Amino acid sequence: MKDKLEKRNFAERQAATEKQIDNIKQMHIEKLLGDITEKDTQIRDLSERLAAHERTKNQALEKALRDVETLKKRLADERKLKKIAIHKVDDLLSQVYEYEIAQAFKQAPSHQASSEASPNLSESISPKKGGSGKTDSIRLACRNYYSRAKGYEGLLRRIKAPYTPQHYLEHRRKMVMVPHLQQNLAHEILGEYPPATHKEVAETQALENKQEKRHSSK
């Protein structure tokens, strides 16, 4: 009877111990599962943050590249506009220069009509007796646009003519052998005499060619 009681107590203690061990194991398993779940949550959160950071970095890089391309395009457009503006100013200054020379010749007291201009360049620029007043008026008219023209807008207001790229090209085609800069330099060197017009230069060159042909034929 005593042995049976001891066996039963031993069995009960063993069962209680095993149950306690099972409970401890279960607690450890649950704790491990909780830790794993928490780690998974942290990993997902970090992954989302990393992905968001990568997206932000890529967006910033794309924006920087777009800004660079936009800046390049803007600089190219500004360079193009500046070239067009320079061409416009040069064209308008050429028109003003030629127009005021023609007006000076027309308004000069002893000047004849442009259709009666001498084909000889040396005669067209040679001084005449009693022509100091005419020379002064021509010289003043030729240089007036330097003081009166107040930039590109001022020139546009003075010359009521529409400007287009085709107009610029046509104007350049009409200009003959003597460039505008050479005219200005010649004007500054000659000082008191007006520069030769394109028509006079062309007529003079034609006359010189004819004279050379005559001499060569003789």
Residues 146-189 have pLDDT tens digits of 444 444 455 445 555 555 555 545 555 555 444 555 555 555 55
Is 159 inside a domain boundary? yes
Residue 172 token pair: 């350049």
Domain that holds residue 145: 72-213
What tens digit of pLDDT does each residue of 58-112 get?
999 999 999 999 999 999 888 888 888 877 777 777 777 777 666 666 655 544 4
**Number of independent structural domains in the chain:** 1
More confident residue, 105 or 215: 215
Is 49 inside a domain boundary? no
Is 131 inside a domain boundary? yes
In whole angstroms, what is the distance from residue 153 CA to residue 20 CA?
100
Query: Shortest CA distance to 204 belongs to which of 217, 216, 195?
Result: 195
Asked whether residue 197 carries a pLDDT value surpassing 90, the answer given is no
Are 142 and 100 contacting, i.e. CB atoms less than 8 angstroms apart? yes
pTM, 2 dp: 0.33
Is 19 inside a domain boundary? no
Is 116 inside a domain boundary? yes
- Mean pLDDT (the chain, rounded): 69
Is 84 inside a domain boundary? yes
In whole angstroms, what is the distance from residue 92 CA to residue 85 CA?
10
Phi-psi domain of 112 (left: phi exceeds 0; alpha: psi -120 through 50; beta: other): beta
Is 86 inside a domain boundary? yes
7 class by beta-carbon count within 10 Å (0-12 exposed, 13-18 middle, 19+ buried) = exposed
pLDDT score of 130:
44
pLDDT score of 10:
81
Is 80 inside a domain boundary? yes
At 115, is the pLDDT very low, low, confident or very high (cuts 50, 70, 90)?
Answer: very low
